[in-house]
Amino acid sequence: KQFIPPPGYLLLQLDYSQAELRVMAAQAGEKTMIKWFKEGKDIHIMSALKKYHVEDQYDRIKTILDKEDDNDPEFKIWKVRRKQAKTINFGIIYGISDYGLSKQLGVPRAEAARYIESYFTRYVGVKAYMEAEIAKAKKLGYVETLFGRRRYLPDINHSNYNLRSFAERTAINTPIQGTAADIIKVAMLKVAKALQDAKVKSRVLLQVHDELVLEVTNEEKDKVAKIVEQEMENAVKLQVPLVAEVATGKNWALAK
C-alpha cells in the first residue's frame, strides 16, 4: 500500500501468467501441457482433472470454481484439488522431494511420493527433460537458460548426497526459472523502447520476478497497457503463448 504514484497517475501492473510452467512445458516439449496452454486452459485445473481422469469436465469445473460458492460441495472439493495440483506443478520445477511435498500438502510422505510418481507418469516429457538436464550437468558441469546464460554446478558429481542432490535440483530449476528471468528482462528492454517511441509520459517503475509495475497517467493508461502487454507477450517465441495479465490501481496493493 505504500507504493503510490504521483498525483494524476495510476499504477499499472502486468504479470506473466504462469511463466515458469509455460517455460517448462516448452523446454520439455510436454505435448499435453503445450496443448492446454495453446487452448488457454487453467493448467492447475487441467492437472487436477487429469489426475482424476475427468478432463472432459473442464468447462463445468472452471465455472464452479469461478463462482466461489462455499455452499457448493463440489466447489470445496475442486478448490482443494486445484490447490494440490498447483503445489505439485510448481514443486516439480524446484525438484521437490516427497518429504518436501508431504510438508506442503499436509499428507503422509508415502502419499506425496505417489503424487510425484503419478505426475511423471502423466507428463513423461517433463520426466525425460529433467533427467536430460541432470545428465548434461554431470557431463558439462553447468546448465544453461534458453538464452545461453550458464549456471555452474561444481557439486553435481559430489560424493556427498545432500550436496549432489541440491546441485541436481538446481540443474532442473535453473533452465526454467532462469529462462523466465531472462524473458522479463528482454520484455523490459522492448517495453522501454516502445514507450520511448510512443512519446508517452508513463514509465516503468518496478520489476519483480515476472511482473512489471508502471506509473501511468489517467489519459495514457489504456494505450500504455496495450503497448506493454504486446511487448511482454512477444518478448520471445516459445511453443506456448506468453500471457500478460493487466491490472491498475491507486496503489500497488489495489493493482494486485
Mean pLDDT of 126-133: 94
- What pLDDT is stored for residue 4 in this prediction? 94
Sheet of 244-249: strands edge to edge? 203-208, 211-217, 9-16, 244-249
What letter represents residue 238's amino acid? L
Whether residue 58 has pLDDT greater than 90? yes
Whether residue 93 has pLDDT greater than 90? no
Percent of the chain exceeding pLDDT 70 equals 100
Mean pLDDT of 65-84: 95
Predicted confidence (pLDDT) per residue in 5-18, tens digit: 999 999 999 999 99
Query: What are the beta bridge partners of residue 16?
Result: 244
Predicted confidence (pLDDT) per residue in 21-36, tens digit: 999 999 999 999 999 9
Residue matched to cell numbers 527433460: 129
Average pLDDT over the chain, rounded to an integer: 94
Residues 6+ apart with CB under 8 A from 239: 25, 26, 29, 34
Within 10 angstroms of residue 108's Cβ, the number of other Cβ atoms is 11
Within 10 angstroms of residue 252's Cβ, the number of other Cβ atoms is 18
Predicted confidence (pLDDT) per residue in 152-177, tens digit: 999 999 999 999 999 999 999 999 99
Predicted confidence (pLDDT) per residue in 236-253, tens digit: 999 999 999 999 999 999
Whether residue 233 has pLDDT greater than 90? yes
Q: If pLDDT is split at 50, 70 and 90, which confidence band does 256 have? A: confident
- What pLDDT is stored for residue 96 in this prediction? 85
- What pLDDT is stored for residue 77 in this prediction? 96
